[in-house]
Amino acid sequence: MKISTKGRYALRVMVDLAINDNGNFISLKDIATRQEISNKYLEQIIALLTKAGFLETARGNNGGYKLAKAPNEYIIGDILRATEGDLTPIFCLTGENICSKQKNCKTYSFWKGLDDTINNYINSKTLQDLV
Amino acid sequence: MKISTKGRYALRVMVDLAINDNGNFISLKDIATRQEISNKYLEQIIALLTKAGFLETARGNNGGYKLAKAPNEYIIGDILRATEGDLTPIFCLTGENICSKQKNCKTYSFWKGLDDTINNYINSKTLQDLV
DNA sequence: TGCAATTCCTACCTATTAAGTAGTATAATA
DNA sequence: TATTATACTACTTAATAGGTAGGAATTGCA
């Protein structure tokens, strides 16, 4: 039950962009250097953040990335879900793959409670809380 | 960020033993049949529970397993830790592999908070709550 | 206009882990 | 001593994590 590098790095990238924001675009290379993450791997992670609409991007010379919104408008849960994918600790909570035994499953409500607990926490924090 | 089958099955086994407890030993085969888990795989999971001291066992004919304590004495967190291993969502929280950047890591306290939230939940429930 | 700096896109690779099988030794009991 | 069970150790297979690699498209600037 671990958060993968994608979610962890993504959070660090968002914090980095928040802290180093000076209005200009920041190149991936700069972020990668500061955060000690491989350029090529970071590309993939930042692509997820871009696709989620979290970043403004500029291609070409002097291009790069910057936050599309103010830090307090980013919910950490959203950042993690966009990069980690689904965060539920148990497959049967995802809606898909509904288990045939769910009706009389003695453990279901425990897992549901865990999922709720996790979501309450990660949805209660914003990027602003980290910077 | 998923709980593996080991933790999930282990919890189901413990619930099964609690519900079907009649004072006698219950064979692994019976549990496996009821829970629709392969005998051989269940052996490994039950071995973890046994090693953790959660079960009384009897070998040989009419042997099997039963709970060593009353259901309300089993903390779910303990059952999961014994079978899943470490439950912390981030490696740097485990104590080992301490990250060189930890001192000025902006994300550390967020992850620590998540870990605490999860532990508070799973340590607040006992097996009794599920049966 | 052409070069350098940059993002964007897709495919590929490798080590680890999850999940499960298999076989055999050991023990108890009827 | 045959049967029914747990205990132990090694092996197998498929999926996933965590990257690499190469090149196309875009933009600014000398």
| Residue A19 lies in domain | 5-130
In a domain, B44, yes or no: yes
Whether pLDDT at A102 is above 90:
no
At residue A61 the predicted structure's pLDDT band, cuts being 50, 70 and 90, is very high
Q: With contacts defined as CB-CB under 8 Å, which chain B residues touch A107?
A: 8, 11-12, 15, 130
Q: Which of A50-59, A95-104, B19-28, B80-89 has the lowest mean pLDDT?
A: A95-104
- pLDDT exceeding 90 applies to what percent of chain B? 86
Which of A1, A7, A106 is facing B15, going by the closest CB pair? Answer: A106
Q: What pLDDT sits at residue B76?
A: 98
In a domain, B112, yes or no: no
List the A31 CA – C11 C1' distance (angstroms): 25
Instruction: Residue A117: give its domain's CATH number.
Output: 1.10.10.10
At residue A104 the predicted structure's pLDDT band, cuts being 50, 70 and 90, is confident
What is the number of structural domains in chain B? 1
Angle in degrees, 0-180, between the axes of helices A5-19 and A28-35, rounded to the nearest 10: 110
Provide the β-strand partners of residue A65.
Answer: A26, A57
**A vs B: CB pairs below 8 A:** 80
Q: What pLDDT sits at residue B97?
A: 55
Measure the CA–CA gap between A123 and A51, rounded to whole angstroms.
Answer: 20
| DSSP assignment string, B72-110 | GG-BHHHHHHHHH----SSGGGSSSS--TTGGG-SSHHH
Nearest residue, CA→C1' of D22: A40
Number of CB atoms found within 10 A of residue B70's CB: 12
Residue A110's closest chain B neighbor by CA?
B130
pLDDT single digits (tens) A44-54: 999 999 999 99
Listed in order, strand segments (DSSP E) in chain A are 55-58, 64-67
In a domain, B98, yes or no: no
At residue A71 the predicted structure's pLDDT band, cuts being 50, 70 and 90, is very high
Q: With contacts defined as CB-CB under 8 Å, which chain B residues touch A110?
A: 11, 76, 125, 129-130
In a domain, B34, yes or no: yes
Binary contact (B117, A117; C-beta < 8 A): yes
Residue B76's closest chain A neighbor by CA?
A110
Q: What pLDDT sits at residue A54?
A: 98
Whether pLDDT at A98 is above 80:
no
Q: With contacts defined as CB-CB under 8 Å, which chain A residues touch B110?
A: 11, 76, 125, 129-130
pTM of this structure: 0.94
List the A53 CA – D26 C1' distance (angstroms): 20
Q: What pLDDT sits at residue A100?
A: 76
Q: What pLDDT sits at residue A103?
A: 78
CA distance A62 to chain B (A): 27
Q: What pLDDT sits at residue A97?
A: 55
Nearest to B11 by CA among B51, B90, B89, B71: B71
Measure the CA–CA gap between B107 and A105, rounded to whole angstroms.
Answer: 36
Whether pLDDT at A23 is above 60:
yes
With contact defined as beta carbons under 8 Å apart, do B125 and B72 qualify? no
